[in-house]
Chains A and B, each alone.
Chain A
Amino acid sequence: MTEIIQKVKNLSIGFKSKKGEEILILRNITTNIKKGETVGIVGESGSGKSTLALAMMGYVKHGLYTIGGECEFNSSNLLKMKNRDLEKIRGRKIAMIPQNAGQALTPNLKIGYQIDEALQLHSDLKEEEREQKISELLNKVRLPSPETIALRYPHELSGGQQQRVAVAMALAGTPDLLLLDEPTTGLDVTTQAHVLELLNFIAKDTGTSMVYVSHDLGAIAQVSDRIIVMYSGEIVLEGPSRDILKKPIHPYTYGLLKSIPKLSLAGLPQSMPGSQPQPGTMHRGCSFFDRCDFSEEKCKNNSPQLEYLKELNTSVRCFNHKSLMNDSHVNQTVNKIKTSFLDKEILNLSEVSISYAKQKILDQVLNRISDDNPTVKDININIKKGETIALVGESGSGKSTILKSIAGLLRTKEGIIKFDQDRNLSSDLKERDPNDLRIIQLIFQNPDESLNPNHTVEEIIAQPLKLYFGLKGEELKKNIIDLLEKVRLGEFYTSRYPRQLSGGEKQRVAVARAFAAKPDIILCDEVTSALDVSVQAAVLNLLQQLKEDFGTTYIFVSHDLAVVRAISDRVAVLYQGRLCEVGPSKDVYKFPSHPYTEVLLGAVLEPDPDIKPKLVAEDIVEEKPPQKGCSFQGRCSRILGDICKNEVPPWQITNNGNSIRCHIPLEELQKDQIN
Chain B
Amino acid sequence: MKLDNIYQEEKKSNFAKVSEIIITMASRPSGFIGLSILIFHVILAFISPYIAPYDFKAINPTLMLQAPSAEYWFGTDDLGRDVFTRTILGGRTALTITFFGSLIALLWGGLLGIFCGLVGGKTDDIVMRIVDAFLSIPWILAMLLIVSLLGTSTEVLIPALGFFYGKGIVRVARAATHDVIAKDFIVSARARGHSNFSIIWNEIIPNVRDAILVEGAMRWSWMLLGFSSLSFLGFGVSPPTPDWGLMISNARGLMSFAYWSVIAPIVGLSSLIIGINLTADAFAKALGIDRSTKAPV
Contact = CB atoms under 8 A, between A and B. Distances in A.
Question: Are both chains from one complex?
Answer: yes
Interface of A: 45-46, 274-275, 277-279, 281, 290, 407-409, 429, 432, 434, 437-438, 440-442, 444-446, 449-456, 459, 463-464, 467-468, 490, 492, 495-496, 499-503, 513, 517
21 contacts: A274-B3, A278-B3, A279-B296, A290-B2, A409-B190, A429-B191, A429-B193, A442-B191, A444-B184, A444-B187, A450-B184, A450-B185, A452-B185, A452-B206, A453-B207, A455-B202, A459-B202, A463-B194, A495-B11, A496-B11, A501-B295
A419 B2 CA distance: 45
Contacts of A437: 191-193
Contacts of A274: 3
B141 interface: no
A467 B194 contact: yes
A409 B191 contact: yes
Given A45-B297, A277-B3, A408 B191 contact: yes
A278 B6 contact: yes
Contacts of B184: 444-446, 449-450
A454 B11 CA distance: 12
B188 A444 contact: yes
B75 to A, nearest CB: 50
B155 interface: no
A667 B158 CA distance: 83
Interface of B: 2-4, 6-11, 183-185, 187-194, 198, 202-203, 206-207, 294-297
Contacts of A429: 190-191, 193
A409 B10 CA distance: 37
Contacts of B297: 45-46, 502-503
Contacts of B187: 409, 442, 444, 450
Given A437-B191, A450-B188, A463-B189, 7 more contacts: A275-B3, A277-B3, A409-B187, A440-B191, A463-B192, A463-B202, A495-B10
Contacts of B189: 463
Most buried by A among B8, B185, B189, B294: B185
Minimum-distance CB pairs A-B, first 4: A454-B206, A450-B184, A437-B193, A495-B11
B8 A496 contact: yes
Contacts of B7: 278, 500
Given A453-B207, A454-B207, A432 B193 contact: yes
A476 to B, nearest CB: 15
Contacts of A432: 193
A429 B199 CA distance: 14
B260 to A, nearest CB: 48
Nearest to A449: B184
A539 to B, nearest CB: 15
Nearest to A516: B192
B190 A278 contact: no
Contacts of B188: 442, 444, 450, 513
Contacts of B295: 278, 499-501
Contacts of A441: 191-192
Contact of B193 (A279, A467, A496): A467
A61 B190 CA distance: 39
Contact of A467 (B2, B6, B8, B192): B192
Contacts of A278: 3, 6-7, 295-296
Contacts, number: 92
A500 B295 CA distance: 6
Contacts of B193: 429, 432, 434, 437-438, 467
B251 to A, nearest CB: 50
Given A274-B3, A281-B6, A456-B11, A499 B191 contact: no
A297 to B, nearest CB: 16
A449 B192 contact: no
Nearest to A532: B297
Nearest to B204: A452
A438 B190 CA distance: 12
Nearest to B6: A281
B294 A407 contact: no
A459 B203 CA distance: 11
B17 to A, nearest CB: 11
A46 B295 CA distance: 11
Contacts of B294: 499
Contacts of A503: 297
Given A409-B191, A429-B193, A452 B3 contact: no
Most buried by B among A274, A444, A452: A452
B3 A281 contact: yes
Nearest to A277: B3
A445 B187 CA distance: 12
B125 to A, nearest CB: 14
A348 to B, nearest CB: 20
Given A429-B193, A467-B194, A452 B6 contact: no
A193 B189 CA distance: 38
Contacts of A513: 188
B290 to A, nearest CB: 11
Nearest to B182: A449
B36 to A, nearest CB: 25
A321 B209 CA distance: 54
Contacts of B198: 467
Nearest to A455: B206
A46 B296 CA distance: 8
Most buried by A among B183, B193, B194, B294: B193
B64 to A, nearest CB: 60
Contacts of A444: 184, 187-188
Nearest to A501: B295
B286 to A, nearest CB: 14
Most buried by A among B2, B184, B187, B190: B184
A586 to B, nearest CB: 32
Contacts of B3: 274-275, 277-278, 281, 290
A157 B4 CA distance: 45
A518 to B, nearest CB: 13
A438 B191 CA distance: 9
Nearest to A447: B184
Contacts of A499: 294-295
A517 B187 CA distance: 16
Nearest to A494: B11
Nearest to B198: A467
B182 to A, nearest CB: 9
A440 B128 CA distance: 35
A536 to B, nearest CB: 14
Contacts of A467: 192-194, 198
B207 A407 contact: no
A15 to B, nearest CB: 11
A500 B190 contact: no
Nearest to B297: A503
Contacts of A279: 296
Nearest to B3: A277
A274 B1 CA distance: 7
B150 to A, nearest CB: 41
A674 B3 CA distance: 51
A452 B207 contact: yes
Contacts of A409: 187, 190-191
A467 B198 CA distance: 10
A73 B189 CA distance: 53
A134 to B, nearest CB: 38
Contacts of B185: 449-452
A161 to B, nearest CB: 27
Contacts of B4: 490, 492
A304 B187 CA distance: 48
Contacts of A454: 206-207
Nearest to B209: A454
